[in-house]
Structure 1
Amino acid sequence: MIRASSYVNSFFRHRARRNPNAQLRNLSVDGKDGVSEAEGSGSIGGERVSQDISRRNYTEMAKIVATITREKPRWEQTLVSDFPSFNFADPLFFRELVATQNNVLLSLRFFQWLCTNHDCTPDPISSNMLFEALLDAKAVRAAKMVRDIAGFIPDSASLEQYVKCLCGVGFIEEAIEVYFQLKEAGIRISIVACNSILSGCLKAGKTELLFEFYQEMIKAGTASDANTETVGCLIQAFCDSGQVARGYELLNQFLKTGLDPGNPTYNKLIAGFCQAKNYASMSEVLHTMIARNHLPTIYTYQEIINGLCKNEECLEAYRVFNDLKDRGYAPDRVMYTTMIHGLCEMGSFGEARKLWFEMMDKGMQPNAYTYNTMLHGSLKSGDFERACELYNEMCNKGYGTTTVTCNKIISELCSRGKSDEAFEVFKKMSETGIQADAITYNSLIRGFCKEGKVDERMNLLNELVAQDPQPSVSLYELLIIKSCKDGDFEAAKRLLGDMSSKGLHPNAYTYDTMLHGSLKSGDFEHVRELYNETCNKGYGTTTATCNKIISELCSRGKSDEASEMFKKMSETGIKADAITYNSLIRGFCKEGKVGKSMNLLNELVAQGLQPSASSYASLIIQLCQNGDAESAKRLWGDMVSKGIEPHANLREHLISGLCKQGRATEGMDRLMGMLENKIKPKKAAFEDLAECLIQSERFDDCLLVLYIMRKMGYVIKRDVCHSVLSRPCLK
C-alpha cells in the first residue's frame, strides 16, 4: 500500500551518536562560604539542611538577578563584579532563576552568558528545564540551539514535544532524527508526534519522505495506532503527488477498519478527481461522503465547481452552481468569483456580468480578485471602456490590481494610439505599489515609437536599463528600426553598442536594419564593420542589403571590393539577383573593365535573368568608347531581341562609335532610323557623323546632315563649315 523506505534510516544514522556526558564539567553546588554541599556535612541529614539553606539563598538571589536581567540593559558587563563571591554556575541557582523569570528568552540570554563567561555548560536537569520552557514558548530554534550547545538528551516527553515543534517550523529532517533517537533509546513515539512529522512533510511538499516515514512507522509498529489524522495525511499525500485513485483506494481500506477522516479528506479527493477529469470517481466520493453522514459543505461544492471550470467544463459548473442555489445553498464570494472567472474564460461575458450584479445585490462586495477577474473578462471580450471603468473603480476603492492586468490595459491603450493615457496607468502602478516588468516598459516604448515620441521612449529605455530584467533584444531592435527611420543613425549606433555591452546578441534582422541605416546615412565605413561582423557571427544578411552595399561600392569606384562581396554572397548562401549583376556590370564598365562586365552579363543570361537597359547601355557605351563598335552592335541586337527599348542617348553613342571606326554608312543609317522614329539626335551625334562623312569625302551626305541639323535648331560650328567647303576646293 505504501512505498518502501529507501533512505530514512541511512539519512540520519551516519551521524555519530553523541555522549551527552562528554565535554560536560560536573558543577559543584557551593554554599555561601564557598564550601561545597558534599563537604558541608558528614551525614545525609546534614546535606538536606544545607540544601534547604542554599535553596532559600538561591531563591532570593534568583529574584535579584531576574530583576537585574530584566531592567538593566548591559548587565553582562557588571553582574560578576556586583556579586564577586557568588557562584552563578551553580545548577541550583540556574534552576531557581528559570523558575523565577517570566521571560524564557531572558533565561536563554543568561544561559548564553553563563556558557561564554564561565566556560561551562549547565547540567542535564537545568538544560532540560530551559529546553522545555523554550518549547512551551514555541521558541523551537532557540531550543535547538540549547540542545546543540549543552549536548544533552532531553527526556522522552520533551523530545516528543520537540518533534512537534520542529515540524511546525519546517525542520522535518531534524524531527525524523529525534524520532530515531527515541527509537534507539527503546522509546516508542506516540502517533500524535508521528502525525506531526507526516503533516510537516505535507506542508513542505515532501511526499516521498512522507511515504518512506510511514513505512518506518509500519516497521516500528506505530502505524497500528493510526487515527483519522494519519489517514488524512496519507490520502492528501497521494492527491498531491497525482495519485488520487490510490488515495481513494486507501480511504476505502481505512473505512473498513472504522477510521473515517472526515470532510477535509473527502474534499481533497473530490478536488483531485475533478482536476484529473475523473468525474465518475468524483461522484462516487461524493456519494460515499453523504452515505457516511458527512453533508457536503459549500466548500465541497466550491472544489467541484473550481475543478470543472479549470477543466473547461464551465457549462456543467454553471449548472451545479444554479442547482446549489435552487437547493437553498448560499454561494459565497469565492464561489461567485470562481464562476465569474469560468464564464469569462468560456466567453459568456453576459452571464458573468449577471452574476457580478447578483453577487452585489446579495450584499457581497467584489474583492480585488473579483475585480481582476471581471477586468480580464472585459478586456477579452473587447469591452475596453468597461475595463477602464473597472480599473478606475478598483483604484478608487484602494484595491491593488496585478502587473498582468495593468500590462493588458497599457498594451491596449498603446495599440489605440493613446500612449499618454497608458503612461498615466504606468505612473499609477508605481503609486499603488504594483511592480512594472519588462512587458510594461516594452508596451509603452512601442506605443511611444508608434506615435513618434522620441524623448519619452528613450527616457523609458534608460529607466528600464537601470532595472532588472534588462530590455529585450526585440525592444532594442524596435528602437534601432525607429531611430533609423527617423534618420537618427547615431542613436541607432549607440543602441547597438549598448546591446553588445549588456551581453545581448543582435539578430540578423537587427544587423540588416543597421546596415540599411548606415547606408542611408552615408557612413560606409560603419557599413563595412557591420557587414564583416554579421558574416563573422554566421548571420546571413539579405540580398537587398548586399545589393545596396555592392551598388555603393561600385559608385565609389571599388568594383573589385564589390566583386569580393559578390563571391561571399554565394559562399554564405545568399542568392544574387538581376540587381546584383547589373550593379556589378555598371561598376566594372565605369572603371573600363569591359571583359569582366561581359563575363557577368553572360553569367546573368545563363541563369535566366534579364539584364537591365542600363547594363546594356553601360556596356555598349564603353565598347563604343573603346572603338569596338562591332561588339556594341551585337549587344544592341541582343538588347532589341529581348524587347528592351534602347534610350535615345544610347543610339547616339552607337552612332559616335561607328563614326570613330569610319563606318559612315552605318552611322548614317542609324541617324536616319532615329529621325524616322521621330527621335531627335543630340548635336554631338550630328557633328560626329558630319566629321566622319567629310573624312570619307561624302560631301553631299555631309551637307544633308548639316541641313537636317540646322533645321532642328542646332548651330553648326565654324570649323565644320570650313571643312565641308575647303575639301572640294582642294580637290
Structure 2
Amino acid sequence: MPMRPPPPLAAATAAAVVTRQPHAAPASASEPTASTIPAYRALIRDLASAGRLDDVDAALASARSCLAPNSLQPLYVASIQAFARADRLRAAVDTFERMDFFACPPAAPAYNAIMDALVDADYHDQAHKVYVRMLAAGVAPDTRTHTVRLKSFCLTGRPHVAQRLLRTLPERGCDVKPAAYCTVVRGLYADGHRHDARYLFDEMLGRDVFPDVVAFNNVLHALCQKGDIKESGALLAKVLKRGLSANRFTYNIWIRGLCEGGRLGEAVALVERMDAYIVPDVVTYNTLMRGLCKESKVQEAAQYLRRMMNRGCVPDDFTYNTVIDGYCKRGMLQEATELLKDAVFKGFVPDRVTYCSLINGLCAEGDVERALELFNEAQAKDLKPDLVVYNSLVKGLCHQGLILHALQVMNEMAEDGCHADIWTYNIVINGLCKMGNISDASVVMNDAIVKGYLPDVFTFNTLIDGYCKRLKLDSALQLVQRMWTYGIAPDAITYNSVLNGLCKAGKAKEVNETFEEMILKGCRPNAITYNILIENFCKINQLEEASGVIVRMSKDGLIPDAVSFNTLIHGFCRNGDLDGAYLLFQKLDEKGYNATVHTFNILIGAYSSKLNMQMAEKIFDEMISKGYKPDSYTYRVLIDGSCKTANVDLAYVHLAEMVNKGFVPSMATFGRVINSLAVNHQISEAVAVIHIMVRVGVVPEVVDTIFSTDKKEIAAPKILVEELMKKGHISYPTYEVLHEGALQHLKLILEGAHCSLDMLVELFRKHCRDETRKQLDKGLSVEELNQPGHTVSSFASSRCYVRTMKSFIFLEMSHLLKSLEASILKGVLEHRSDKLWVSFVI
C-alpha cells in the first residue's frame, strides 16, 4: 500500500496542541501482541492502566499487521481514550489522524472520543472544528456526539444554547439519555440558573428519564462546588426516594459539600450512618478530617485517623498532612510531632507540605529557631522549599522582630531559584511598619518595584496606615495619589487609615472632605468609616451631626455596632452633656442594642469625674444586675470618685471587692484610699490596706529582692509607706499616723499568733470593745456605733452580716478563712469550724 502523509486535523489544532503537550516517547522495543479485536482492546486498556502508554502504539502496530484495517476502529478509540486520560492529548490527536492514513476512516465513536478529549482539555474551538469535519465526511452524529457538544456549550458559559440543542435531539433522530439531561442541568446550575436547572431536572424525571448514579454524581458535584447545599440535598433526597443506589462517590461528594458548606455535624452523622451501606474509603475519611481541621476540631480528626487505621483503611500522605497541619494551626506542636514520628514509622515520608505546616506552626508559636532547623533539614533532604515555605519563615522572623534575618532569607530565596513575590515583600513591609520603621518599609517597597514586583492594595494600605499612625499625613496622602498611578483603587481600608489619621490630628474639615472624596471615587464606606466620622463630629462638639451619621449608616444598609454608640455616648460625655448620654443609653437599651462593659465604663467614669456618685453607683448597680462584669477601670473610677466625695467607706468596699475579684489596683489607687481613711481617722482600715498591698505584691522592688517571704509581711509595710510618701500618693500627716497604727496592729497580731477560731473571735470582741470605748470617749452614742452594722455579739454566730468592715482583724480573717474554704464575700462569713486550728500571719 503506498505511503502518504496523514492529513492534519486542523492547522490551529495541531499548533495549539504542540504548544501545550510534549511529544510522545518512542514505542517500546518489544511490541505487545494479541490475536483478536477484544484481546487487543483489553491489552491496550491494561497497558494504559499500567502507565505503559508508549507501548499502546506498539500494540496498535501489531494489530495492524495481522487484522483487517476496517476492523481496528475499537482499538483506535480505546487508544485515543487512553492517551486522553493520561493527559497525552498530542498522542491522542496523532492516533486519530493516522486512522485515515492506515485505511480506517474514523466513525462516530472515534470522532466522539477525540472531541471529548479536546473539550476536557479546554480546546472547545478545535472540538467544534472536528464536529464540522465529521459532518463534511458524511458521518452522522449520534447521541454521544451531541452530549459532548452539550458539555462544551456548558463549559463555555452557554448553558441555554445547550438547552436549545437538547430540545432538538429527538428531531435529529437521537434519544435523549440521562447523561445529556444531566450535562445541561449541571451547566445551568454552574452558571447560576437555579430555577431553569431545577425545572429541567424535574422535566427529566417527569419523562421517566431516570439518571444513573454517574450522571447524577456530576450534577451533585457541580452543586456542591457552587456551595448550594440546600439544593444539593433536595435533589439527592428526590433521586434516592425514586430508587437511585448511591455509590461511594455520591457519599464522598455529599460529605465534602456538607463540610465546605458549614454543616460539619451532618457530615459526621452521615459518615457514622454510611457503614450500614458502603464502607468508607480513604477519600471519605480525608474529606471529613479536612472539614474537622478547618473547624479547629483537630482532636476529633485524630480520632477518625485512628478509626480508619483500626478498620484497615491505610492513610495516605494527604491524611497525615491534614491532621499534622490541623495540630500546627492550633498550636499543638507536640501532638503534631508525635503523629509525625508515628507516621514515619509506618512508612510516611514527610514532604514539602509537611515541612510547611510545621514551619508555619513553629513560627506562629514564636519558635523561629526550631523552624529554621526544620527548614535546613528539608533542604538537606533535597526538598526544595517553595514560596509558601519561604513566606512562612519570613513571616515568623518578622513577627519576632528579626527583620534583618528575614531579609537574609529573602536573599537566599533567589540563590535557591525561588523568587520572592509581592506577598513576601508585603510581609517584610508590614513587619517594618509595626516596628515603626516606615522609611525602611518605603525603601523595601521601592526595591520591590525596581525588581519588577508591582505593589498591591495591601502594600499601599500597610504603608499608609503606618504613616497615619505617626501622623505623617502628607506622606500618607502622597501614597494614596501614587496608588492611582499604578492603577490601584484605594479601598475602604485605605480611606479609613487616612480618615483616622486626620481625625487624630484634629483636622476635622479635612476628614469631611476626604469622606466626600471617598464617596465620589465610588468606594463604599463600612462601619469603621462611619465610626471615625462620629468621633470626628464629637470632637468638634457637633453632636447632632454625629447622631445623623448613625441614621446614615442605617440607610446605607450598615448596622451600627457597639463602637458606634460608645463613641457617640463618649462624645456626649466629653462635651458635658451627661444626662443626654444617659438618655441615649436608655433609648438604645429599649431598642435592644446590646451595651458592652466599655459602655457602662464611659458613663460611670463621666459621672464619677463630675462627682455625681449617686448616678455612678446607680449605673454600676444596673451593670451588675444585667450580668456585665466590671473591670479594673470600673472599680478605679468608682474608688476615685468615692474618695473625692469623702465616701471613704464605699471606696474601701470597692477596693476590697476589686482585690477579691483578682484585679490588682495601682499604687496610686491604694494611696488614695489610704489617704482618705487616715483623714477619716480610720487608721486600722488604712493599715489593712497597706497589708493588702503587700499580699497582692504592690511593693517596691527592693522588698522582693531583700526579704524572704516570712519576713516580708513584717518588713514590707514600713518600706511601702515610705514609698507611698516618696511618690506623693499619701500626705505627710498620713505617713506619720500610719507608723503608729502599724506598730499597734503588729502588737495585736503577736498576741494572737496561734489560736483557735473561738479564741480568734474572743480576740476580735476584745479589740472591738476597745475600739468602741474609744469612740464613746469621743462622744458618739451606742446607737450611732451600731447604725452601720450589727453588734459585736452577732459576729460570734455561725452566720452574720456586717455592712462595713470596721476592723482590720476582721478583714484579715476574711483573707485567712478564704484559704481554708471559708469565705467572707461582701461581709458574709461562711463555713466556720471551731475545731480547726490555724496559724495566721499579717
- TM-score w.r.t. the length of structure 2 is 0.44
Trace 1:288-307 onto structure 2 (pairs within 5 A): 288-307=377-396
1:192 equivalent in structure 2: 283
Per-residue CA deviations over 1:613-653 (Å, capped at 9, x if unaligned) read xxxxxxxxxxxxxxxxxxxxxxxxxxxxxxxxxxxxxxxxx
Aligned match for 1:211, one of 274, 295, 302: 302
| Pair 1:570–1:189, CA change in 2 (3 A) | closer
Q: Percent identical across equivalent pairs? A: 21
Find out whether 1:502 has 2:588 as its counterpart.
Answer: yes
Aligned match for 1:183, one of 250, 271, 275: 275
Higher RCO (CA 8 Å, separation ≥ 6 residues): 1
Trace 1:389-538 onto structure 2 (pairs within 5 A): 389-394=478-483, 399=488, 401=490, 403=492, 406-431=495-520, 436=525, 440-441=529-530, 443-448=532-537, 450-451=539-540, 459-460=548-549, 463=552, 468-469=560-561, 471-473=564-566, 475-479=568-572, 482=575, 497-503=583-589, 507-508=603-604, 510=606
Q: Is the 8 A contact 1:359 1:365 kept in 2?
A: yes
Per-residue CA deviations over 1:62-95 (Å, capped at 9, x if unaligned) read x9xx999956999xxxxxxxxxxxxxxxxxxxx9
Q: Is the 8 A contact 2:394 2:410 kept in 1?
A: yes
Q: Distance in 2 between matches of 1:173 and 1:607?
A: 63
Letter in 2 for 1:507: L
Q: Distance in 1 between matches of 2:530 and 2:335?
A: 48
Q: Distance in 1 between matches of 2:553 and 2:317?
A: 55
Per-residue CA deviations over 1:563-617 (Å, capped at 9, x if unaligned) read xxxxxx8889799xxxxxxxxxxxxxxxxxxxxxxxxxxxxxx999xxxxxxxxx
Trace 1:70-469 onto structure 2 (pairs within 5 A): 70=163, 97-101=177-181, 102-104=183-185, 109=199, 112=202, 128=213, 131-135=216-220, 137=222, 141=229, 144-149=233-238, 150-151=240-241, 152=243, 154-159=245-250, 162=253, 166=257, 169-170=260-261, 172-185=264-277, 187-223=278-314, 226-325=315-414, 329-394=418-483, 399=488, 401=490, 403=492, 406-431=495-520, 436=525, 440-441=529-530, 443-448=532-537, 450-451=539-540, 459-460=548-549, 463=552, 468-469=560-561
| Pair 1:509–1:462, CA change in 2 (3 A) | farther
| Pair 1:449–1:248, CA change in 2 (3 A) | closer
Q: Which moved more, 1:492-501 or 1:350-359?
A: 492-501
| Pair 1:221–1:404, CA change in 2 (3 A) | same
Q: Is the 8 A contact 1:441 1:464 kept in 2?
A: yes
Q: Is the 8 A contact 1:159 1:178 kept in 2?
A: no
Mark the runs of 5 or more structure 2 residues left unpaired by the alignment.
1-142, 151-159, 168-174, 187-195, 590-594, 623-644, 652-678, 682-842
Per-residue CA deviations over 1:428-472 (Å, capped at 9, x if unaligned) read 344456565666455445545555667755654654687512643
Q: Is the 8 A contact 1:229 1:261 kept in 2?
A: no
Residues matched between the structures, number: 441
Q: Is the 8 A contact 1:166 1:174 kept in 2?
A: no
Q: Distance in 1 between matches of 2:161 and 2:378?
A: 61
| Pair 1:458–1:237, CA change in 2 (3 A) | closer
Q: Distance in 1 between matches of 2:553 and 2:246?
A: 59
| Pair 1:145–1:130, CA change in 2 (3 A) | farther
| Pair 1:255–1:398, CA change in 2 (3 A) | same
| Pair 1:497–1:356, CA change in 2 (3 A) | same
Q: Distance in 2 between matches of 1:211 and 1:472?
A: 45
Q: Which secondary structure does the structure 1 equivalent of 2:178 belong to? A: helix
**Distance apart, 1:198 and its partner CA:** 2.7
**Distance apart, 1:180 and its partner CA:** 4.7
Q: Distance in 2 between matches of 1:445 and 1:138?
A: 44
Q: Distance in 1 between matches of 2:179 and 2:567?
A: 69
Q: Is the 8 A contact 2:166 2:180 kept in 1?
A: no
Per-residue CA deviations over 1:665-709 (Å, capped at 9, x if unaligned) read xxxxxxxxxxxxxxxxxxxxxxxxxxxxxxxxxxxxxxxxxxxxx
Q: Distance in 1 between matches of 2:166 and 2:440?
A: 66
Q: Which secondary structure does the structure 2 equivalent of 1:472 belong to? A: helix
Q: Which secondary structure does the structure 1 equivalent of 2:575 belong to? A: helix
Output the aligned Cα RMSD. Answer: 4.8
Letter in 2 for 1:259: F
1:619 equivalent in structure 2: none
Per-residue CA deviations over 1:276-331 (Å, capped at 9, x if unaligned) read 22234323322332233211223322111101112333343233334445666532
Q: Is the 8 A contact 2:320 2:343 kept in 1?
A: yes
**Distance apart, 1:351 and its partner CA:** 2.4
**Distance apart, 1:396 and its partner CA:** 6.0
**Distance apart, 1:173 and its partner CA:** 4.8
Q: Is the 8 A contact 1:135 1:165 kept in 2?
A: no
Q: Which secondary structure does the structure 1 equivalent of 2:275 belong to? A: helix
Q: Which secondary structure does the structure 2 equivalent of 1:468 belong to? A: coil
Letter in 1 for 2:304: F
Letter in 1 for 2:307: E
| Pair 1:434–1:208, CA change in 2 (3 A) | farther
Q: Distance in 2 between matches of 1:132 and 1:457?
A: 56
- TM-score w.r.t. the length of structure 1 is 0.50
* Structure with max Cα Rg: 1
Per-residue CA deviations over 1:211-259 (Å, capped at 9, x if unaligned) read 2222220221103xx2222221121122123222332333344334443
**Distance apart, 1:335 and its partner CA:** 0.9
Letter in 1 for 2:514: V
Letter in 2 for 1:302: N
Letter in 2 for 1:242: G
Q: Distance in 1 between matches of 2:531 and 2:179?
A: 64
Q: Which secondary structure does the structure 2 equivalent of 1:303 belong to? A: helix
Q: Is the 8 A contact 2:460 2:483 kept in 1?
A: yes
Q: Distance in 2 between matches of 1:247 and 1:531?
A: 55
Q: Distance in 2 between matches of 1:375 and 1:68?
A: 49
Q: Distance in 2 between matches of 1:264 and 1:366?
A: 28
Q: Distance in 1 between matches of 2:370 and 2:523?
A: 42
Q: Is the 8 A contact 2:268 2:288 kept in 1?
A: yes
Q: Is the 8 A contact 1:164 1:197 kept in 2?
A: yes
